[in-house]
A and B are shown apart, each in its own frame.
Chain A
Amino acid sequence: MLNTNLYMLQRITALIMAPLVLGHIAVMIYAARGGLSAAEILSRTQGSVWWMLFYGTFVAAVSIHAAIGLRVIVFEIFKLKGAGLVLFTWATFIGLAFLGFRAVYAVTIAGGGL
Protein backbone atom coordinates (compact mmCIF):
# COMPACT_ATOMS: atom_id res chain seq x y z
CA MET A 1 0.00 0.00 0.00
CA LEU A 2 1.24 3.43 -0.93
CA ASN A 3 0.93 6.99 0.19
CA THR A 4 1.63 10.11 -1.86
CA ASN A 5 5.36 10.14 -1.04
CA LEU A 6 6.00 6.54 -2.05
CA TYR A 7 3.81 6.96 -5.11
CA MET A 8 5.67 10.07 -6.29
CA LEU A 9 9.05 8.42 -5.60
CA GLN A 10 7.97 5.45 -7.67
CA ARG A 11 6.80 7.60 -10.59
CA ILE A 12 9.77 9.98 -10.48
CA THR A 13 12.32 7.15 -10.49
CA ALA A 14 10.38 5.63 -13.39
CA LEU A 15 10.71 8.87 -15.34
CA ILE A 16 14.43 9.09 -14.53
CA MET A 17 14.97 5.51 -15.67
CA ALA A 18 13.02 5.73 -18.94
CA PRO A 19 15.88 7.27 -20.93
CA LEU A 20 18.49 5.31 -18.96
CA VAL A 21 16.87 1.98 -19.78
CA LEU A 22 16.57 2.80 -23.45
CA GLY A 23 20.19 3.93 -23.41
CA HIS A 24 21.25 0.71 -21.67
CA ILE A 25 19.43 -1.45 -24.21
CA ALA A 26 20.92 0.52 -27.09
CA VAL A 27 24.39 0.07 -25.59
CA MET A 28 23.77 -3.66 -25.14
CA ILE A 29 22.58 -4.07 -28.71
CA TYR A 30 25.62 -2.21 -29.96
CA ALA A 31 28.13 -3.90 -27.67
CA ALA A 32 26.77 -7.42 -27.99
CA ARG A 33 27.47 -7.61 -31.70
CA GLY A 34 30.08 -10.22 -32.40
CA GLY A 35 29.96 -11.51 -28.84
CA LEU A 36 30.82 -10.00 -25.50
CA SER A 37 33.91 -10.36 -23.36
CA ALA A 38 34.92 -8.90 -20.03
CA ALA A 39 37.95 -7.20 -21.54
CA GLU A 40 35.79 -5.58 -24.21
CA ILE A 41 33.33 -4.21 -21.67
CA LEU A 42 36.01 -2.98 -19.31
CA SER A 43 38.08 -1.30 -21.98
CA ARG A 44 35.08 0.96 -22.55
CA THR A 45 33.96 1.52 -19.01
CA GLN A 46 37.07 1.58 -16.84
CA GLY A 47 37.97 5.04 -15.61
CA SER A 48 34.95 6.60 -17.28
CA VAL A 49 33.16 9.18 -15.17
CA TRP A 50 30.23 9.25 -17.58
CA TRP A 51 29.56 5.54 -17.37
CA MET A 52 29.86 5.78 -13.60
CA LEU A 53 27.32 8.57 -13.46
CA PHE A 54 25.04 6.85 -15.97
CA TYR A 55 24.96 3.53 -14.18
CA GLY A 56 25.23 5.06 -10.71
CA THR A 57 22.04 7.04 -11.33
CA PHE A 58 20.43 3.96 -12.81
CA VAL A 59 21.28 1.88 -9.71
CA ALA A 60 20.01 4.54 -7.32
CA ALA A 61 16.74 4.89 -9.21
CA VAL A 62 16.13 1.17 -9.69
CA SER A 63 16.85 0.39 -6.04
CA ILE A 64 14.11 2.80 -4.98
CA HIS A 65 11.73 1.81 -7.77
CA ALA A 66 12.06 -1.96 -7.26
CA ALA A 67 11.86 -1.69 -3.47
CA ILE A 68 8.56 0.19 -3.69
CA GLY A 69 7.24 -2.12 -6.42
CA LEU A 70 8.06 -5.24 -4.41
CA ARG A 71 6.56 -3.60 -1.33
CA VAL A 72 3.19 -3.40 -3.06
CA ILE A 73 3.43 -7.02 -4.18
CA VAL A 74 4.28 -8.46 -0.75
CA PHE A 75 1.55 -6.34 0.79
CA GLU A 76 -1.15 -7.42 -1.63
CA ILE A 77 -0.18 -11.08 -2.07
CA PHE A 78 1.39 -12.00 1.27
CA LYS A 79 -0.48 -9.42 3.38
CA LEU A 80 2.76 -8.25 5.00
CA LYS A 81 2.05 -5.13 7.06
CA GLY A 82 3.45 -2.71 9.63
CA ALA A 83 7.07 -3.07 10.75
CA GLY A 84 7.63 -6.17 8.63
CA LEU A 85 6.61 -4.30 5.49
CA VAL A 86 8.86 -1.33 6.33
CA LEU A 87 11.77 -3.70 7.02
CA PHE A 88 11.22 -5.53 3.75
CA THR A 89 11.13 -2.30 1.76
CA TRP A 90 14.34 -0.99 3.30
CA ALA A 91 16.12 -4.34 3.03
CA THR A 92 15.27 -4.57 -0.67
CA PHE A 93 16.42 -1.01 -1.28
CA ILE A 94 19.69 -1.46 0.63
CA GLY A 95 20.37 -4.87 -0.93
CA LEU A 96 19.90 -3.67 -4.49
CA ALA A 97 21.78 -0.42 -3.89
CA PHE A 98 24.73 -2.23 -2.29
CA LEU A 99 25.05 -4.86 -5.00
CA GLY A 100 24.40 -2.29 -7.70
CA PHE A 101 26.94 0.30 -6.56
CA ARG A 102 29.44 -2.49 -6.05
CA ALA A 103 28.93 -3.53 -9.67
CA VAL A 104 29.24 0.08 -10.87
CA TYR A 105 32.45 0.45 -8.88
CA ALA A 106 33.79 -2.83 -10.28
CA VAL A 107 33.08 -1.90 -13.85
CA THR A 108 34.05 1.78 -13.84
CA ILE A 109 36.55 2.42 -11.08
CA ALA A 110 38.33 -0.67 -9.83
CA GLY A 111 41.51 -1.67 -11.55
CA GLY A 112 39.99 -4.87 -12.77
CA GLY A 113 41.71 -8.23 -12.74
CA LEU A 114 42.30 -8.49 -16.43
Chain B
Amino acid sequence: MISPHRSHSLWFAFIAHRLSGLALAVFLPVHFYVLALVLTDASTLDGFLQWSKNPLVKFAEFGLVFLLGIHIFGGLRLLALEFLPWSPRQKTYAALAVAGAFILACGFLLSAVS
Protein backbone atom coordinates (compact mmCIF):
# COMPACT_ATOMS: atom_id res chain seq x y z
CA MET B 1 0.00 0.00 0.00
CA ILE B 2 2.85 2.38 0.77
CA SER B 3 5.10 2.95 -2.25
CA PRO B 4 8.40 1.05 -1.94
CA HIS B 5 10.46 4.22 -2.08
CA ARG B 6 8.54 5.60 0.89
CA SER B 7 8.94 2.60 3.14
CA HIS B 8 11.50 4.04 5.51
CA SER B 9 11.19 5.60 8.94
CA LEU B 10 12.05 9.20 8.11
CA TRP B 11 9.41 9.29 5.41
CA PHE B 12 6.89 7.99 7.97
CA ALA B 13 8.07 10.75 10.29
CA PHE B 14 7.32 13.26 7.53
CA ILE B 15 3.83 11.93 6.79
CA ALA B 16 3.00 11.71 10.52
CA HIS B 17 4.04 15.34 10.89
CA ARG B 18 2.00 16.45 7.89
CA LEU B 19 -1.14 14.48 8.82
CA SER B 20 -1.02 15.52 12.48
CA GLY B 21 -0.65 19.15 11.41
CA LEU B 22 -3.59 18.82 9.05
CA ALA B 23 -5.76 17.18 11.72
CA LEU B 24 -4.89 19.90 14.24
CA ALA B 25 -5.60 22.63 11.69
CA VAL B 26 -9.04 21.13 11.09
CA PHE B 27 -9.67 20.66 14.83
CA LEU B 28 -8.71 24.21 15.84
CA PRO B 29 -11.65 26.17 14.38
CA VAL B 30 -14.03 23.72 16.07
CA HIS B 31 -12.14 24.11 19.34
CA PHE B 32 -12.21 27.92 19.11
CA TYR B 33 -15.90 27.90 18.24
CA VAL B 34 -16.82 25.69 21.19
CA LEU B 35 -14.85 27.84 23.63
CA ALA B 36 -16.48 31.01 22.33
CA LEU B 37 -19.92 29.55 23.10
CA VAL B 38 -19.33 31.06 26.53
CA LEU B 39 -20.22 34.38 24.89
CA THR B 40 -23.42 33.48 23.19
CA ASP B 41 -24.66 30.21 24.57
CA ALA B 42 -22.97 29.22 27.80
CA SER B 43 -25.42 26.46 28.58
CA THR B 44 -24.47 24.73 25.34
CA LEU B 45 -20.84 24.86 26.38
CA ASP B 46 -21.65 23.20 29.67
CA GLY B 47 -23.77 20.64 27.86
CA PHE B 48 -20.85 20.00 25.57
CA LEU B 49 -18.44 19.57 28.45
CA GLN B 50 -20.88 17.14 30.08
CA TRP B 51 -21.08 15.19 26.83
CA SER B 52 -17.31 15.15 26.63
CA LYS B 53 -17.17 13.01 29.76
CA ASN B 54 -18.19 10.09 27.54
CA PRO B 55 -15.26 7.61 27.34
CA LEU B 56 -15.31 7.70 23.56
CA VAL B 57 -14.80 11.44 23.64
CA LYS B 58 -12.00 11.02 26.18
CA PHE B 59 -10.37 8.57 23.81
CA ALA B 60 -10.74 11.04 20.94
CA GLU B 61 -9.12 13.69 23.14
CA PHE B 62 -6.33 11.23 23.85
CA GLY B 63 -5.92 10.93 20.08
CA LEU B 64 -5.75 14.70 19.71
CA VAL B 65 -3.13 15.07 22.43
CA PHE B 66 -1.18 12.25 20.77
CA LEU B 67 -1.33 14.06 17.41
CA LEU B 68 -0.28 17.29 19.09
CA GLY B 69 2.61 15.44 20.74
CA ILE B 70 3.68 13.95 17.40
CA HIS B 71 3.57 17.34 15.77
CA ILE B 72 5.47 19.23 18.45
CA PHE B 73 8.14 16.61 19.19
CA GLY B 74 8.57 15.86 15.49
CA GLY B 75 8.72 19.60 14.90
CA LEU B 76 11.41 20.02 17.53
CA ARG B 77 13.41 17.30 15.80
CA LEU B 78 13.08 19.27 12.55
CA LEU B 79 14.11 22.54 14.17
CA ALA B 80 17.18 20.79 15.59
CA LEU B 81 17.90 19.20 12.20
CA GLU B 82 17.74 22.57 10.49
CA PHE B 83 19.37 24.91 12.98
CA LEU B 84 21.80 22.79 14.98
CA PRO B 85 24.80 20.89 13.60
CA TRP B 86 23.76 17.71 11.81
CA SER B 87 23.15 14.66 13.95
CA PRO B 88 23.21 11.18 12.40
CA ARG B 89 20.63 10.01 14.97
CA GLN B 90 17.55 11.27 13.12
CA LYS B 91 15.79 7.91 13.17
CA THR B 92 16.34 7.61 16.90
CA TYR B 93 14.92 11.07 17.51
CA ALA B 94 11.94 10.33 15.30
CA ALA B 95 11.20 7.20 17.33
CA LEU B 96 11.63 9.14 20.59
CA ALA B 97 9.17 11.75 19.31
CA VAL B 98 6.49 9.09 18.87
CA ALA B 99 7.25 7.59 22.27
CA GLY B 100 7.13 10.99 23.93
CA ALA B 101 3.83 11.81 22.26
CA PHE B 102 2.37 8.54 23.48
CA ILE B 103 3.52 9.10 27.05
CA LEU B 104 2.10 12.61 26.98
CA ALA B 105 -1.25 11.42 25.67
CA CYS B 106 -1.40 8.65 28.28
CA GLY B 107 -0.65 11.21 30.98
CA PHE B 108 -3.56 13.27 29.75
CA LEU B 109 -5.94 10.31 29.56
CA LEU B 110 -5.06 9.07 33.02
CA SER B 111 -5.69 12.46 34.55
CA ALA B 112 -8.86 12.99 32.56
CA VAL B 113 -10.52 9.78 33.64
CA SER B 114 -9.54 9.90 37.28
Residue positions of A touching B, CB distance < 8 A: 11, 14-15, 17-18, 21-22, 25, 28-30, 32-39, 42, 59, 62, 66, 69-70, 73, 92, 95-96, 99-100, 102-103, 105-107, 110, 112-114
Q: Is the CB of B42 within 8 A of A38?
A: yes
Q: Is the CB of A22 within 8 A of B72?
A: yes
The majority secondary structure among interface residues of chain B is helix
Q: In the complex, what residue of chain B is closest to A35 when comparing beta carbons? A: B53
Per the 8 Å Cβ criterion, residues 41-77 of B in contact with A are 41-43, 45-46, 49-50, 52-53, 65, 68-69, 72, 75-76
The majority secondary structure among interface residues of chain A is helix
Would you call B16 an interface residue if the criterion is a C-beta within 8 Å of the partner chain's C-beta atoms?
no
Given contacts A29-B111, A95-B29, 15 further A-B contacts (CB under 8 A): A11-B82, A21-B68, A25-B69, A25-B104, A33-B114, A59-B32, A69-B21, A70-B22, A96-B25, A96-B29, A96-B32, A106-B37, A107-B35, A113-B38, A114-B46
Give the top 6 A-B pairs by smallest Cβ distance, nearest first. A113-B42, A99-B32, A103-B35, A103-B32, A32-B112, A106-B39
A22 to B65, CA, bound (A): 11
Q: A18-B76, A21-B72, A113-B41 are in contact. Are A66 and B21 (CB under 8 A)?
A: yes
Q: Can you give 30 A-B contacts (C-beta < 8 A)?
A: A11-B79, A11-B83, A14-B79, A15-B79, A17-B72, A18-B75, A18-B76, A25-B108, A28-B65, A29-B108, A32-B108, A32-B111, A32-B112, A35-B53, A37-B46, A37-B49, A38-B46, A38-B49, A66-B21, A66-B25, A69-B21, A96-B32, A99-B36, A100-B28, A103-B31, A103-B36, A105-B36, A105-B39, A106-B39, A114-B42
Q: Which of A29, A39, A95 neighbours the largest number of chain B CB atoms within 10 Å of its CB?
A: A29
A30 to B42, CA, bound (A): 23
